[in-house]
Amino acid sequence: MADSVRLEYMIDGDNFTSAGEASVMVKKSLRQMGFDPETIRKVSVAMYEGEINMVIHAQGGKATVDVYDDKIVIVLADRGPGIPDIELAMQAGYSTAPDNIRSLGFGAGMGLPNMKKYTDEMTIESEVGVGTTITMVVNV
Amino acid sequence: MSPTDFYHTHPITDGEILTHSVTLDVTKCKGCTTCLKRCPTEAIRVRDGHAVIENARCIDCGECIRVCQHKAKKAIFDKLEDFADYKYKIALPAPALYGQFEGATDLDLVLSALVDCGFDDVFEVSRAAEIVSEYTRKFLERNETLPHPIISSACPVIVRLISVRYPLLVENVLPVMPPIEIAARIARKEALKKHPELTDGDVAVIFISPCPAKVSYAKNPIGIETSAVSGVLSIGEFYFKMLSAMKKITEPTVTAQSGIIGISWAGAGGEASALFNEKYLAADGIDNVIKVLDEIDNGNIRNLDFVELNACSGGCVGGVLNIENPYIAKARLQTMRRYLPVSLNRVGDCRLDNYEWEHDLEANNVSTLDGDRHEAMRKMREIVALTESFPGIDCGSCGAPTCRALAEDVVRGKANPDDCIFLMRDKLRMMVDKGEINCKNCPKNKANPS
């Protein structure tokens, strides 16, 4: 436990143009620690999708990445509206993104499915009106 | 002259072998933080009051030359006199060269001026560019299964940037030699055929370059063992010699053999548009290029076959060794290419044994903290903690471009936390408070003279 590296990022919900920056910083740090390209790709895609979701739906939040030598744990926590039906939200193509976001190519309903696809474990804890915490694990 | 002065009059690199073109004039460098902040790979540090470049990180983009207000950064390149011993000298003009001369509307005039300046022959790099265009079209058809989008390898800065910053994208880079290399190889082959009395060692193939990156390329090529280019002259330095030669020309002696496609390679978008495939993207300027590469790296650019990236704004006409404003040069080239055929050069015409790289592009792991994962993770913990302890204003006063970069330097044993002037100030205050140092002028001592 003591040997892990904790990387923390505040995701700015007011600034859509900076969405995805934490993912780039995580990628740089993982590369400096010598992780293999495939692991880095998985973490950065999952992280990127989660970051975009937090900005679109939850006015931002906090990302905590704990790096162990055999796994990487990503925790994305927000105080947004919460997800009423997690099963529905997990369906490919289902999206509640507003139209102005869709015009940029987002909101295809692939965020959560991609996060699941690129990680080895994913749990969603969500309460309507309180917020959402997503924990993802990528095994090295 | 002290030893430090001597060191800094040499190319400002800390590695053993000089493979980069950018140098520093120590008498002009003020040790300001302008180039430090601008460097896209964080390769520059200020040490002992002067800029120093880390060899392994430098990608030869020339941004530091462009932004230096004190004109302390320069590119070193060859001089024509250096090749006096060669029996046969061939000039390889970059397509950007044609756009440099006001009033010159004819390619033949520019090429003839080169010959009058002391070359035995001229081979247009734009000819090789047309061959690369055709080769790339065929390559894309043949290799539909390669990772997409395919990224152009024509700009050496981009290829080095990818190997330093985007290890996941090395497989996307087009493994084809750039026009400069193919031009040099064909020019050599043709010269030896035309003049059987010559040996390969008698022939010097000299590129007239818009950028310092090509100087480095000739010394340390990408994807191949050795380059057929013997030397690189600067457009800016050769310009005046050509200008006076041009004024004396009444009838051009050389006939250009390039078409619209070859000439268009001088500007951003020229290479991509020659693929006759609308699924392309062309970006120019190092900051824009980095944003595009980040998007590709994140998997956000889909449904594109080809990506053309130019480190300089405007493409090669924006190279830092050019004389003319890049947009004026590009406008001039539009006039020059107007009545030219689409393309005049084909792969089959000048059959080389090989157009592709001899070996794969490798990711340069210069950023890795340690070969051992546990050690690298320990260092990363230190970096995170140190970065927290710094003020986070990225002032550059310590000699590193950001607080995070200073933290990395400290952990790599190349700097000291006290290099941060804010930490140092706090430390001094604490020492004064504890009475460990006595400072007569210290406000506190003045207030309590006892």
- pLDDT, residue B446, reads 54
CB contact under 8 A, A33 and B373: yes
Query: Are both B172 and B303 inside the same structural domain?
Result: yes
**Sign for the pseudo-dihedral over CA of B329, B331, B333, B335:** negative
Confidence band for B444, pLDDT divided at 50, 70 and 90 = low
3-class secondary-structure state, position A25 = helix
For A62, the domain range is 5-139
Task: Give residue B225's Cα distance to chain centre.
Answer: 19
| Whole-number Å distance between alpha carbons of A103 and B296 | 19
A5 touches B at CB < 8 Å: yes
Instruction: Name every chain A residue with its beta carbon within 8 A of the beta carbon of B381.
Output: 5
Instruction: Name every chain B residue with its beta carbon within 8 A of the beta carbon of A28.
Output: 367
A86: closest CA of chain B, how far (Å): 25
B368 touches A at CB < 8 Å: yes
For B431, the domain range is 373-447
Here the CATH number for the domain that contains residue B14 is 3.30.70.20
Query: Are both B92 and B131 inside the same structural domain?
Result: yes
Mean pLDDT of A98-121: 82
A39 touches B at CB < 8 Å: no
Within a domain: B366: no
Looking only at the bridges linking them, the beta strands covering B280-284 and B88-93 are unpaired
Here the CATH number for the domain that contains residue A135 is 3.30.565.10
Selected residue with higher pLDDT from B241 and B338:
B241
3-class secondary-structure state, position B233 = strand
Question: Domains in chain A: how many in total?
Answer: 1
Beta bridge partners of B88: B203
| Whole-number Å distance between alpha carbons of B233 and B93 | 10
Query: Half-sphere exposure (CA, 13 Å, Cβ side) for A119?
Result: 27
Phi, psi angle pair for A74, to nearest 5°:
-110, 125
Please name the residues between 150 and 179 in chain B that touch chain A, using a CB distance below 8 Å: 167-168
Confidence band for B12, pLDDT divided at 50, 70 and 90 = very low
Query: Are both B70 and B131 inside the same structural domain?
Result: no
- pLDDT, residue B81, reads 94
Tell me the percentage of chain B whose pLDDT exceeds 70: 93
Within a domain: B117: yes
Q: Domain ends where: B291, B315, B350?
A: B350
Q: Which of B298, B370, B374 shows the shortest C-beta gap to A48?
A: B298
Confidence band for B76, pLDDT divided at 50, 70 and 90 = confident
Phi, psi angle pair for B206, to nearest 5°:
-120, 120
Confidence band for B445, pLDDT divided at 50, 70 and 90 = low
The answer to whether residue B103 scores a pLDDT higher than 70 is yes
The answer to whether residue B370 scores a pLDDT higher than 60 is yes
- pLDDT, residue B441, reads 63
The answer to whether residue A37 scores a pLDDT higher than 90 is no
